[in-house]
Structures are given as C-alpha cells and as structure tokens.
Amino acid sequence: MDTRPGTSSESGNGGQWAPARGGSPSFLRQVNVLSVLRTVREQGPLSRTDLRRLTSLSRPTINEVLGVLFATGYLIEDEPDIGQRSFRSGPAPRMLRFAAEVGHVCGIDIGAEKILVKLARLDGEVVASVRVATPRLSTPAETIRRVRNAVRIACTEAGIGEVEVRQAAVSTPGIVDPSTGCVFLAPQLRGWEGLRLADRLALQCPVVVENEMHLAVLGERWRGAAKGIDDVVYIGLGVGIGAGVVLGGRLHRGLGGAAGEIGYLPLTVDADAVTGGRGAFETAAGAHALGARAQKLARGRNGGLLRELAGGDPTEVTAATLFAAASAGDAAAATLISDEAKLLAHAIATVALVLAPSVVIIGGGLSRAGALLLDPIQERLPALLPVPPPQVLQSTLGEDAATIGAIYVALQITDDRLYTTVAGGER
C-alpha cells in the first residue's frame, strides 16, 4: 500500500479535507495525488524515476496519479531539453513540472500617492507591473476606476484575459473589518471610510482586502528583508505610521484587524492619542511633520543648503530635501534627523518591549533615507531597552512591499483552493 500517513499535517490545505473513515481508496488516492503534486511543485522539474524515489510510491500508483493530475492541467510533462543533457550518456528523460502558467493572481496596492498593480503566475513570478498616480483629493469612484483600468493594462501586458486571474488581494490604508470588509480609519484617502472595497472593485475574480502594513510585513517576509524570520514587525513610515506584525511565522491581525496601529501611540501620559482622525505619534513623527520642521529650518539662518536644494523656495522643502542636505554634510539637517530618529526609536522600543521581535523592518517613504535615519535609531535603542534590541533593517522591497504581500496572500488562497480541488478529484 502506498499511502503515506503524516502527509496531512504537512499539506498546504491546512488539513481541510475531511478525514475519510479507514483506509478508503478515495482517501488514499487523495493523499497520493497531493503528495505527487506537492513534490513536483516544490522539487520539480523531476523525472518519473526521481518522483518514485522521492514519494516511495509504486510505478502503477504514480502512473494512475499522474493521469489525474494531467487532467487538472496543473502538472505537465515536458520533452527533454536535448542541449542540456548532451554531455551525459543515455536518452534524456521527460520531465514533470508544475504548470505555474495555467493561472495568475493579482496584487493591488491603493495608496495616497499611487496605485500599484502586479500580476504573478502560480509560482509567484511577477509577469506584469503597472503603476499609476492617485490624484490628490480623488473620489473613491475615480480611484476605483483607475484601479480597474490598471488591472486591465496589467492583463494586456501579461497577455492574459481578465478571467484568467484567479484571485486578487488589495492593500489599503486603514483598518479592514474582517466581518464586513469595510475600511475604517483611512484619513489618507478621501471618502474611503466605510467603503466596501472588495464589492466596489467588482473584478472578475474573488477579491480580499487587507491593511497595507499587514500585507507589507508578509511581503518582506516572503521576498524581502525578513526572509525566514518568524517574529518580525514591519513599520511603515510615511505621512501615516503603522505596523504589521508576524509572530511565529503568522500574521497577527488583532481584534477587528486593528493590530499595529502605532501611529496612535501616546507621546505623553496626559495627552489623548486621537486627534482629528490622525494619531498622536504619526502627527509628531510622520513625513508631513518632518517636512514642516525642514521647511522651518529652510526659512532660518541655518537653512542655506536646504533652500538651495529646493531651488530657493522653502515651501518646496520636503523630508527628502532634508535627507539630501544631511548627506551633503549639513549639520542643522543632521540635527533634525537625529531628533526624528529619537521619536522613531521611542516607537520601536515600545513595540520591542511588548513583543520582543527578532527583527524590525523599516519601510515607507522615510525609509529611503537608509543609514542616515536607521543608524541613529539603532544607536538610541539600547538606552530604551533592558535587553538586546531587535535588529533594525531597511525594507528591501521599498514601495512594492504591500503589493508583493498582496500577491503572497492571493497565492495562499489560490493554493488552498487548488489543493482542495485536486484532492476532490474535480477540476
């Protein structure tokens, strides 16, 4: 008998197939089909000989299972690549591989400044990427029209029809209520409060919506700076400030999806933390606040370089100008950045005291400053913590983090569906 008990807990469907009573043929077939699909997917391309060795299944069982899998379209057997094998003796075997090209998923990031749409194959390879600006003060209807348009362009770029997209995942600012799918607390996007985004997008595939920080941390853990790290916090530093939390390798969403709302951290014991929709901490430390402090500096005696970098107009000075001035050796600019680092270290220390993550990833617009901002943060942390501080790393995915995280989530959902379908023997 070729069943391999114990496979269930390793399978990608989270053990969702109903346990069959006894060693019934249908259950054994399911185990074998999933085992072969998973082996080829993770270790392929493979010859049938490789597959027999890796699965310990008999030749007749392998043949039967492959028949089922070929019919689903998820597995194909390619002719050998003659060139590759020319120095070896014997005929080259045909190779089994997962047909990652039979389906696509879509990752969408809707931000205050940009809409980013990426299409990926079932193996996660990105095959199309479209970026469009979000006009300031655009209405939800206008933003949604732009998203739908960007998805259409991405499909054309990838050479697929929209119906071939199996799942989309959407990143948005704000908290996404898991029971209703409504977006709340998203002052970045006008009219976004209470929006049922998944329904409004009306794409031709299922859509899930998730907070941008929750997706960014998943993205960085999948393909970015936090690969293989089980306890990691992503902190997005832009106009708003928020965090995404992965613990034990799993996203922690929290009550109502509200984990990581560190933009609302109280700066003092007496002050209320919520001021006009914006949090106390992001109001003090976000990109607007830093830009305002830089503009004030630019108008003063020590603001010569800042004014110069902004073409003589202090109102054109932004956080980016400040970082450029500091890079060029401007002492006043460096002092402002050091003050900003102190504010940010306060928030990172707070997160570290509660959670003690191994790694904190810094993303968002301000993270582009790199070592200029991260070094003083890392220097400040030991004074704030009684234990060794977490490693503070710059995001490697940059503005793509949430979109890559959205692709990851869409692939997870597609995978669950794929394994359930294949195990059920249906197409």
Name the site residues for a copy of itself (rule: CB under 8 A).
1-9, 15, 18-23, 27, 31, 56, 175, 184-185, 231, 243, 245, 247-248, 250, 252-262, 264-270, 272-274, 277, 279, 342-343, 346, 349-351, 353-358, 383-388, 390
In whole angstroms, the minimum distance from the beta carbon of 270 to a copy of itself comes to 8
Nearer to a copy of itself, 112 or 258 (CB): 258
Nearer to a copy of itself, 222 or 281 (CB): 281
Distances (CA, A) of 403 to 11, 74, 167, 251, 295: 26, 25, 13, 16, 32
Nearer to a copy of itself, 175 or 218 (CB): 175
247: β partners: 250
Give residue 143's identity as a one-letter amino acid code: T
Q: Do 220 and 396 meet the contact criterion of CB atoms below 8 Å apart? A: yes
In whole angstroms, the minimum distance from the beta carbon of 355 to a copy of itself comes to 6
Nearer to a copy of itself, 76 or 273 (CB): 273
Bridge pairing between strands 114-121 and 126-133: antiparallel
- Pick the closest to residue 116 from 104, 134, 135, 103 (CA basis): 134
Nearer to a copy of itself, 57 or 155 (CB): 57
In whole angstroms, the minimum distance from the beta carbon of 214 to a copy of itself comes to 11
Q: Which two tokens stand for residue 143?
A: 């933003």
In whole angstroms, the minimum distance from the beta carbon of 64 to a copy of itself comes to 16
In whole angstroms, the minimum distance from the beta carbon of 165 to a copy of itself comes to 31
Give CA–CA dist 185/278, Å, rounded: 9
Strand ranges, E, within 22-178: 75-78, 95-98, 104-110, 114-121, 126-133, 165-172, 175-176
Nearer to a copy of itself, 18 or 163 (CB): 18
In whole angstroms, the minimum distance from the beta carbon of 409 to a copy of itself comes to 17
Give CA–CA dist 211/262, Å, rounded: 13
